[in-house]
Amino acid sequence: MINPQMPPVMISPSLLAADTAVLGEAVSGIQRAGADAVHIDVMDGHFVPNLAYGPDVVRALKKRTTLPLDVHLMVSDPAFFIPIFLKAGADWLTFHVEAAGDKTGELLHLIAQSGAMPGLSLSPGTPVEAVLPYTDQCGMVLVMGVMPGFGGQPMHPDTLARIAAIRRAAGPRLHIEVDGGVRMDNAADIRAAGANILVSGTAIFAANDRESAIKTMRGEGK
Ligand code: DX5
Ligand code: ZN
């Protein structure tokens, strides 16, 4: 960790890479393997060219795990979906600054008022300055390492510099989450840049030993 005051390092495996036929078992399995949260991607086929998990899935998984449900909305109309996913049981709820425009502040407030942790995400190509005015209202900023929509892509090379810029501007309190292209061999650099929540789909679900993959990403053992 670059700063002893920084929030703890946490690993949030992305269910996009899990076997969707047995999602409940996937969640129980990553909890046993030591995950800190469960990352659930929501895609509307409009903000991104893919479709993924609806509120019924969140509601069902809530009964299967005590881990925080880390719900990532990749939708064009976050104002419509936020109340739905709060009701379904999201513990951390993140939407994209590109979609929310001048409603960003009010939507962060709505999430915070419900007791969930508000998160704001930015895609590669969106200047970090777009989220900086809101960091005081955010529990976390989610820096996308890839264009949202699909797992298994390599991390965009300027992601580390973007994480570092947000950490510098926002200070140690903010959770900075990174999503897309997180692997065992780049996790240390991602943590050193100032991120403390690592989302990983492919690298965790493809690992033979998920417990050791999670430990490696957290910077333990090895
Ligand atoms: C991409 C999703 C990610 C995705 C990451 O739009 O938001 O959560 O599952 O997948 P990997 O870890 O395979 O890059
Ligand atoms: Zn995601």
Token digits for 122? Answer: 């930015």
Contacts of 168 (CB under 8 A, 6+ apart): 194
Which ligand number lies closest to the CA of residue 94? 2
Give tens-digit pLDDT for 88-126.
999 999 999 999 999 999 999 999 999 999 999 999 999
Which of these, 48, 177, 165, lies nearest to 119 by C-alpha position? 177
Which pLDDT score, from 0 to 100, does residue 1 have? Answer: 46
Average pLDDT, integer, range 158-163: 98
Expressed in angstroms and rounded, the spacing between residue 179 Cα and the centre of ligand 1 is 6
205 CA to centre of ligand 1 in angstroms = 11
* CA gap 23, 207 in Å, rounded: 17
Closest of 17, 33, 13 to residue 153, by C-alpha = 17
**pLDDT tens-digit profile of 163-191?**
999 999 999 999 999 999 999 999 999 99
Catalytic residue status for 19:
no
Specify the residue for token string 């700063």. 3
Ligand 1 pocket at CB < 6 A: 14, 16-17, 39, 41, 72, 146, 148-153, 179-182, 199-203
Give yes or no: 179 in active site: yes
Provide the β-strand partners of residue 42.
73
Atom of ligand 1 nearest to the CA of 39: 8
Name the residue with the closest Cα to ligand 1, atom 8: 14
pLDDT at residue 4, rounded to an integer: 62
From 11, 12, 14, 202, the mutation candidate for ligand 1 (largest count of ligand atoms within 8 A of CB) is: 14
Buried b (16+ CB within 10 A) or exposed e, 69-88: bbbbbbbbebeebbeebbeb
Summarised one tens digit per residue, pLDDT across range 20-31 is 999 999 999 999
Cβ within 8 Å of residue 218, ≥6 positions away: 9, 10, 11, 187, 198
Q: What is the pLDDT of residues 132-158, one digit of tens each?
A: 999 999 999 999 999 999 999 999 999
Distance in Å, CA 14 to ligand 1 centroid: 6
Tokens of 178: 């990174």
CB 70 within 8 A of CB 12: yes
Which amino acid is residue 159, in one-letter code?
T
Contact 37, 77 (CB under 8 A): no
